[in-house]
Amino acid sequence: MARLVCARCGREADRLIRGLCPSCFAEVYGVARIPGVLRGEVCRYCGSVRIAGRWVPAGSFEAAIDAVVRWQASKARPVEPLVEARLASWEALSKPDWRTRVALNLEGRTAEGVVVRARVPVVVQLKPSICPTCKTRVSGEYDTVLQLRGGDPGALERLAVEALTEAGVEGDTVDLIKSKDGVDVYFTHRGAASRLVRILKRRGLVETVGRAEEYVGLTSTGRRTRKTLIVRVRL
């Protein structure tokens, strides 16, 4: 039986692909054509990720990265003469975040069944966005949004819930949404938001209060505006 020798590393191999052993082939040519940066869009309110134009639930950076990586890998064409390429697994090389370094473990196959494996470093770049569901929800019936900032979102959420109860304005609250920046509380009327701010001030937690007003249209009672209060606290 003729011995096959890899033209690159000189090792013997059962099968060669373009004159190379499978591991040299993977090093030289790779397994699949996949971009170095994989992009995705993530709803900053609910964590859903947009895949092929559809929003699918994710809820964490890991889940969003997984969805983006799988989707991109499913579209990647194998490098010739491989006839098949798939994602065997992936692992994060940096802390899962909006921008994460990831190693893809790809596995390809020739028509003769020779398996080729490659570990491909890529960057997964997620763009903060808003999904249609959250868009509808946050643009619904509210006239004031209070953005609580200046601490860990989990701690801010607990503080907001506590202060809402103490102010007795839960009934005037449309929604409370935790994001990576903090917590946004949506109120049906500004009086409720002001009461919440007073409670926080009384506790000595408020550093600054920023205000912005936005014109959102006309109603029978006049000009309709929406107020944003940016409350920076010290926890």
3-state SS class at 203: coil
Q: How far is the CB of 171 from Zn ion (least distance, A)?
A: 24
Torsion of Cα atoms, 134 then 129 then 211 then 193, to 10°:
20
Q: How far is the CB of 114 from Zn ion (least distance, A)?
A: 13
- Is the CB of 166 or the CB of 175 nearer to Zn ion? 175
Q: Which stretch binds Zn ion (CB under 5 A): 15-23, 59-67, 97-105, 172-180?
A: 15-23
**Per the structure block, which two tokens stand in for 144?**
């004031």
Under the criterion CB under 5 A, does residue 21 sit at the interface with Zn ion?
yes
Residue 112 to residues 5, 31, 82: CA-CA distances in angstroms? 18, 15, 9
Q: How far is the CB of 37 from Zn ion (least distance, A)?
A: 24
Q: Which stretch binds Zn ion (CB under 5 A): 20-28, 82-90, 93-101, 109-117?
A: 20-28
In the region spanning residues 99 to 158, those forming contacts with Zn ion, defined by CB under 5 A, are 131, 134
Under the criterion CB under 5 A, does residue 43 sit at the interface with Zn ion?
yes
Q: How far is the CB of 89 from Zn ion (least distance, A)?
A: 24
Phi, psi torsion values for 57, nearest 5 degrees: -60, 140
**Per the structure block, which two tokens stand in for 234?**
């010290």
* Residues forming a β-bridge with 208: 232
Sign of CA dihedral 126, 127, 133, 138: positive
Q: How far is the CB of 42 from Zn ion (least distance, A)?
A: 9
- What's the chain's length in residues? 235
Under the criterion CB under 5 A, does residue 58 sit at the interface with Zn ion?
no
Phi, psi torsion values for 34, nearest 5 degrees: -135, 135
Closest CA to 183 of 168, 200, 166: 200
In the region spanning residues 22 to 41, those forming contacts with Zn ion, defined by CB under 5 A, are 24
- Is the CB of 4 or the CB of 206 nearer to Zn ion? 4
**Per the structure block, which two tokens stand in for 69?**
């990586």
- Is the CB of 21 or the CB of 87 nearer to Zn ion? 21
With beta carbons less than 8 A apart as the criterion, state whether 18 and 95 touch: no
Q: How far is the CB of 137 from Zn ion (least distance, A)?
A: 8
- Is the CB of 48 or the CB of 100 nearer to Zn ion? 48
Under the criterion CB under 5 A, does residue 8 sit at the interface with Zn ion?
yes
At position 63, the amino acid (one-letter code) is A
Binding site for Zn ion (CB under 5 A): 6, 8-9, 21, 24, 43, 45-46, 48, 131, 134
